[in-house]
Structure 1
Amino acid sequence: MSGTARTGQAEPTGGDTESERSVDQSGSGSPDTQSKEVFPDQDRRFEFCGHVLKITQQLSKFAIPAIVWQSAIILCRYFEKERIMFLGQKVIELGSGTGIVGILAILLGGEVTLTDKPEVLGQIECNVARNMSPSMTPRPKVAALSWGEDEGQFPRNYDIILGSDIVYRPRSFLLLLKTLLHLSDRRTVIYLSNIMSEKMGAVEFYATLLPEHFHCELVYQTPNNEVNIFRLTRKSSTY
């Protein structure tokens, strides 16, 4: 991997609301752990880049997709700290879950498509509606995208691709890679934020699989080295 890790640097700040500081502890671990218990839905508030985000976690319906994972929060804080804007950019988010990252991209001016499995789209649409005024343009899109299967229904020229904690199932890695290759060209910038679990294959994915096709720059690392943010660009325009 190329690039310099910001090891030891303080975690980006500015996204701390009181509710965020009391993050549900179930969201601080691995997204591969699913609970069989049923929990009530939870409303949470976050503040990034001067915007207040209202996010409903539909815990009564989902386990993994209903949680605002720490990697998503850290990616939003990174955008705030680096003053990254998406004005006029064509953006797609993979594995949107609650939609928090894609919603921030909308509020920062992006033309955003939020994607996930079909059963998760209702939660995303609910959160998008909670955070957008009726007059806001352009209107975001919410769409089902199964990696390695129907990415062909989407354009190949996104300016920005976003993903947080989407690398945790080794059996999906080649499907995700195929999807990233389809959606990008050499000018596309990809931001991926991830818990770096060796057990779940994230270390191998970023160290071995991605560098075959992408320039992979580590742009941020939490002080405990648990979460990394990578900035990717294509090595070749052919696929």
Structure 2
Amino acid sequence: MTGIALVTGGQQGIGLGISRALIAGGYKVALASRSAPDKLAVQQALAELGPNAIYVQHDVSDIDHVPAMLDQVEADLGPITAFVNNAGVGAPVRGDMLELKPENWDFVQNINLRGAFFLAQDVARRMLAQPQDLYRSITFVTSVSATMVSIERAEYCVSKAAAAMMAQLFAVRMAPHGIGVFELRPGIIATEMTAGVRDKYTDRIEGGLVPAARWGEPQDIGSVIMPIVEGQMQFATGAAIPVDGGLSITRL
């Protein structure tokens, strides 16, 4: 049976790296984001991924639209067997956390936490209705910021720390049904989100911040996804996997 994957934010950055790996692994993939279908990034992603990829427009913060979006994916591809909860936003303004504005806090939490939870909730319910001998998985893409402090991005760190707990909650709830739940914690990855701080982090990486001595790339995240979705790590459900070149390893 061909696996069916839903990847939020799958048209660019880390999501695209994951989508590439899934397509190469024989999956049919639905990409979902708030971008209009005619956006260049969407069209380029679909052209690259080929006929086994589709695009559905969905704003993760719009939880009322979740059932309709999932209905569309199921109608076009079939029931989702692998869900990658990847879409997220960074801090709108980096700066002193003592100056953090409530509207920026709410913006980040509505997407990275509230929207992610209720989308995963609906996907999980639908997975429970599928045959129990069919392996299914949910993967939350969080960040090393789930445990590493960046005081200029307080709202982002809090959202990722809470998302890490969200992954644990879903792992325990879904384990009796043979549904694996995992958390991937990317480090410093070269994407659109980090483009504005490229020089800053390049200097720090060259100074030893990342033991692997390089930027991470979207394919580094993609390389981890196949063992998860194919059930090779089923008994490791609930695992939080750093994909960060050693960044989060405690050192003296």
TM-score, reference length from structure 1: 0.48
More helix by proportion, 1 or 2?
2
Structure with the greater alpha carbon radius of gyration: 2
Which structure's residues are more often strand, by fraction? 1
TM-score (norm 2): 0.46
